[in-house]
Amino acid sequence: MLMKRLGWMFLAIGLSLAACAPNNVKEEKSWEKYFSKYKVEGTFMLFNNSQGEFKVYNLERAKQRFLPASTFKILNALVGLHTGAIKDTGMVIPWDGVTRQSPSWNQDLSMAQAFKLSAVPYFQEVARRIGKPTMQLWLDSIKYGNMKISRIDTFWLDNSLLISPDEELGFVKKLYFDQLPFAKTTMKSVRDVMLMEKTPKYELSYKTGWGNNGAKKIGWIVGWIEENRHPSFFVLNIETEDPNFDIAKNRMDILRSILTDAGYFKGEM
């Protein structure tokens, strides 16, 4: 019962670590090896909702704020759908003809395609259609990170908007449980596009992100894994100065290694 009450308290306060009972958070130092393997700094948070078990590697980093990069597409999509800037997940925005580094972006894309391909130009256009005053209203209402906007189409990439792994975890947990101030159909639409893997044993839903802070690359994966209708919420945050670091591959390797270590992917949680 205590764990259940704590779970709902997390929803109310954004899963603030400062408010957690010390015995509810276990520092999992054994996960350090997965970060050392790739020579990165980082943190990993895992909250098993049904068991009330909360494990964290690198607790101090979990409370620090970083640019959200493409993890902001979760909120961008929610606001876009709510305001009508995105009609539905099938809404296509035509390619603007600018050739970009990622070939998959150089085409007309629907919202669902753009989300799964993490197409920055699509969601930059969505942000422009939402507009700065409306976007600011929603950042303030949800208390998303430090709630700062610079340019409307770059603020989640240029180190204006910052959010901590702890805050990211609270945000996706609220999304899962329909605890954000959007229509349930809107939240379900975003949850649906976050579903990346579906097997008989588990469903894995997440959004990735990576961006630059000076010479440092910041990488994210935020979401949940669900087995037997029991969700566990996770946030991976990593940092490297290696210009040749394969962030897309390596962050996923770290995520899957830690979740496997913790007993997931077997359909037994």
Contact 45, 235 (CB under 8 A): yes
Give the phi and the psi of residue 243 in degrees, each rounded to 5.
-65, -20
Give the phi and the psi of residue 46 in degrees, each rounded to 5.
-140, 120
Q: How far is CA 99 from CA 10, 27, 153, 215, in A?
A: 43, 45, 18, 25
Angle at 241 (CA atoms; ends 238, 244), nearest 5 degrees: 100
Query: What's the helix, strand, coil split of the chain in %, to 5?
Result: 45, 20, 35
Contact 232, 190 (CB under 8 A): no
Strand ranges across the sheet with 53-57: 25-27, 53-57, 41-48, 230-240, 216-227, 203-213, 195-198
pLDDT, the chain, mean? 91
Is pLDDT at 150 greater than 80 in this prediction?
yes
Return the pLDDT at 23: 54
Return the pLDDT at 160: 97
- Rounded to whole angstroms, how far apart are CA atoms 104 and 118? 10
Is pLDDT at 1 greater than 80 in this prediction?
no
Instruction: Give the model confidence (pLDDT) of 239-251 as tens digits.
Output: 999 999 999 999 9
Categorize the per-residue pLDDT at 119 as very low, low, confident or very high, splitting at 50, 70 and 90: very high
Pairing mode of beta strands 203-213, 216-227: antiparallel
Instruction: Give the model confidence (pLDDT) of 67-101 as tens digits.
Output: 999 999 999 999 999 999 999 999 999 999 999 98
Which residues on adjacent β-strands are paired with residue 267?
Answer: none
Mean pLDDT value across residues 114-119: 96
- Rounded to whole angstroms, how far apart are CA atoms 73 and 78? 8
Is pLDDT at 6 greater than 50 in this prediction?
no
Is pLDDT at 48 greater than 70 in this prediction?
yes
- Rounded to whole angstroms, how far apart are CA atoms 50 and 37? 31
Return the pLDDT at 12: 37
Active-site pick, 30, 50, 70, 102:
70
Contact 76, 123 (CB under 8 A): yes
Query: pTM value?
Result: 0.91
Helix (H) or strand (E) holding 210: strand 203-213
Return the pLDDT at 4: 34
Instruction: Give the model confidence (pLDDT) of 156-212 as tens digits.
Output: 999 999 999 999 999 999 999 999 999 999 999 999 999 999 999 999 999 999 999
Categorize the per-residue pLDDT at 2 as very low, low, confident or very high, splitting at 50, 70 and 90: very low
Instruction: Give the model confidence (pLDDT) of 206-240 as tens digits.
Output: 999 999 988 999 999 999 999 999 999 999 999 99
Mean pLDDT value across residues 131-138: 98
The residue among 79, 88, 196 whose CA lies nearest residue 149 is: 79
Return the pLDDT at 269: 85
* Active site (annotated) includes residue 150: no
Is pLDDT at 8 greater than 70 in this prediction?
no
